[in-house]
Structure 1
């Protein structure tokens, strides 16, 4: 199968208000936009994330859909959602994939490139 023209865009932000001020952890939101620029209808079935903090500690998250949904994207449609992650350091990263399904039942992995989680004052 050819790789379909489906794009994943990510925006992240630090959420200091989501944890107590004395917390030793750091909360981040990530906003995902999935654009189906192909001529096929696809459905997001499962997700997989690998989250790594600056100390090299990793955690994995996998399961059905995203934010309780398994969205269907017809040709030209997009789906957006926001979720979050909590890590032990002010900088970390995430990467993963979505398991997608075509109308004929064929499944494929849509890779999500590594992206950074960082509090604004850390990186210049």
Structure 2
């Protein structure tokens, strides 16, 4: 698990290779990742959008932007955590992701960005 804290918001990520949805013979490798976003501030925040940078080990780079996460723009109260699971496909058995969330502080509508720590997507057999 990797973790980072930005502006009092803690983001932690775990990854899981999904062999049942992968097809290595066709350069298709599927990974799931679980994200925990913990609000360590004294005010409610809303996750408005995300911006991902996705890299394959062959040098390919993709960017993904969009509203919310998995169809939601959650409000996270002080001391609470929002968790979700999503997925990413790669053309190689190794890669990495990083990015940021755009947040709004509910108290005064102030905008701020929270860093998503860089994490690696690696098929387990690569670690042997």
TM-score by length of 2: 0.90
**Partner secondary structure for residue 52 of structure 2:** strand
**Partner secondary structure for residue 124 of structure 2:** coil
Residue segments in structure 2 that go unaligned for 5+ positions in a row: 1-5
C-alpha deviation, 1:5, in angstroms:
1.3
Q: Distance in 2 between matches of 1:86 and 1:11?
A: 16
Aligned residues: 122
**Partner secondary structure for residue 121 of structure 1:** helix
Greater helix fraction, Structure 1 or Structure 2: 2
Aligned to 1:16: 19
- The answer on whether the counterparts of 2:23 and 2:29 sit within 8 Å (CA) in structure 1 is no
C-alpha deviation, 1:21, in angstroms:
6.4
Q: Render the CA deviation track for 1:29-83: whole Å, top value 9, x for unaligned.
A: 0000000011111000000100000011011110000000000001001000000
Aligned to 1:4: 7
C-alpha deviation, 1:22, in angstroms:
3.9
Q: RMSD in angstroms over aligned alpha carbons? A: 1.3
Q: Distance in 2 between matches of 1:49 and 1:92?
A: 13
